[in-house]
C-alpha cells in the first residue's frame, strides 16, 4: 500500500474503490514526482491519515461504498487535518463549488492527467 518516500516528496493519498482506476491514478501521481499511498474507501483513508502525518494531499473519488463518501471524507479531512489539501473527482455527479468544503478542488472524470498533475502541483506549492 505505501511506497517509500524521500523527505522532499509530497505525499498524496489516492482514495478510489475501483482497484484499476486507483492503480492508474497512483501511477499518474508517482510519474509526476509525488509519493502515492492508496486506500480503497474513506474508512481506510481515515486509518491511513491517522497513521501518516506526512500526507499533504488527498485525491478521492466521491462515490464509494462504506460509512462515508468522498464528500464526507473531505469534510472529515478539513475538520481533523486542516493543512491537508483535498481534490475530489466523480464520473457520476456534477459538483458545484458551493457543495465543496473550503479549499477543496473538484475534477470531473474522466480527468486528464495534465489537469490532475497541474492541480496537485499547485496545491503542493
Q: What are phi and psi of 9, to 5 degrees?
A: -80, 140
Q: What local confidence, expressed as pLDDT, does residue 49 receive?
A: 98
H or E segment at 119?
helix 113-124
34 falls within a domain: yes
Total tally of structural domains belonging to the chain? 1
Residue-by-residue pLDDT tens, the chain, 125 positions: 444 444 459 999 999 999 999 999 999 999 999 999 999 999 999 999 999 999 999 999 999 999 999 999 999 999 999 999 999 999 888 788 888 999 999 999 999 999 999 999 999 99
Q: Does residue 71 contact residue 41 with C-beta atoms inside 8 Å?
A: no
State how far the alpha carbon of 33 is from the alpha carbons of 10, 11, 36, 56, 64, in Å.
8, 10, 9, 14, 27
90 falls within a domain: yes
Q: Does residue 54 contact residue 5 with C-beta atoms inside 8 Å?
A: yes
Supply the CATH number for residue 35's domain: 3.40.50.2300
Q: Does residue 52 contact residue 37 with C-beta atoms inside 8 Å?
A: yes
Full residue range of the structural domain in which residue 27 is found: 11-111
Amino acid at each position: 500500500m505505501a511506497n517509500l518516500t524521500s523527505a522532499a516528496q509530497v505525499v498524496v493519498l489516492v482514495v478510489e474503490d475501483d482497484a484499476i482506476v486507483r492503480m492508474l491514478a497512483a501511477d499518474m501521481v508517482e510519474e509526476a514526482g509525488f509519493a502515492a499511498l492508496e486506500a480503497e474507501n474513506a474508512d481506510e483513508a481515515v486509518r491511513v491519515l491517522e497513521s501518516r502525518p506526512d500526507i499533504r494531499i488527498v485525491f478521492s473519488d466521491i462515490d464509494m461504498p462504506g460509512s462515508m463518501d468522498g464528500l464526507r471524507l473531505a469534510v472529515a479531512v478539513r475538520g481533523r487535518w486542516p493543512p491537508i489539501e483535498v481534490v475530489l473527482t466523480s464520473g457520476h455527479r456534477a459538483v458545484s463549488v458551493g457543495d465543496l468544503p473550503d479549499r477543496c478542488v473538484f475534477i470531473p472524470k474522466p480527468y486528464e492527467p495534465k489537469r490532475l498533475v497541474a492541480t496537485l502541483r499547485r496545491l503542493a506549492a
